[in-house]
Chain A
Amino acid sequence: MCLGVPGKVVSIKEDIAEVDFGGIRREVSLLICPDVMEEDYVLVHVGFAIQRLEKGEALETLALFEEIERDYSESAEEDR
Chain B
Amino acid sequence: MNQRKKIGETKDVSFILNQIVNLTNGHLRFMEVCGTHTVSIFRSGVRSVLPKEIELISGPGCPVCVTPVGEIDRAIALARLPNVTLVTFGDLMRVSGTSSSLNQERAMGRDIRIITSPLDPLEIAMSEPQKKVIFFAVGFETTAGAIAAAVKEAKRRGIKNLYILSSQRLIPPAIKALISLNNIKIDGFILPGHVSVIIGKTPYSFIAHEFSIMGVITGFEALDILEGIYMLMRQKTEGRSEIEIQYTRAVKDEGNRLAQEVIEEVFEPFNATWRGLGMIPQSGLMLREEFREMDAAFAFDIPYEEKADPPGCLCGEILQGIKKPPDCPLFNTRCTPEDPVGPCMVSSEGSCAAFHKYEDFE
Instruction: Give A45 to B62 CA distance when docked, in angstroms.
Output: 15
- Nearest-neighbor residue (CB-CB) of B263 within chain A: A32
Bound together, the chains give a CA A48 to CA B139 distance in angstroms of 14
Which residue from B34, B259, B357 sits with its C-beta under 8 Å from A2?
B34
CA distance A71 to B349 in the complex (A): 12
B198 partner residues in chain A, CB cutoff 8 A: 50
Q: Which residues of A contact B (CB under 8 A)?
A: 1-4, 29, 31-34, 43, 45-48, 50-51, 53-54, 57-58, 60-61, 64-65, 67-68, 71-72, 75-76, 78-79
CB of B64 within 8 A of CB of A1, answer yes
Contact assessment for B337 and A34 in the assembled complex, using a CB-CB cutoff below 8 Å: no
Indicate whether B313 reaches chain A with its CB closer than 8 angstroms.
Answer: no
Q: Please list the 8 inter-chain residue pairs (A to B) with the smallest Cβ-Cβ separation, ordered nearest first.
A: A47-B117, A57-B249, A48-B146, A31-B149, A2-B142, A2-B194, A32-B259, A4-B194
Task: Tally chain B residues at the interface, Cβ within 8 Å.
Answer: 50
Question: A31 — nearest CB in chain B belongs to which residue?
Answer: B149
Assess the A45–B142 pair: CB atoms within 8 A. Answer: yes
State which of B35-43, B125-133, B173-181, B271-279 sits at the interface with chain A: B35-43
Name B120's closest neighbour in chain A (CB-CB): A47
Q: What residues on B are CB-neighbors of A32 within 8 Å?
A: 145-146, 149, 256, 258-259, 262
Among B35, B116, B256, the most chain A Cβ lie within 10 Å of the Cβ of B256
Chain B proximity of A65: nearest CB distance (Å):
8
Whether A43 contacts B117 by the Cβ 8 Å rule is no
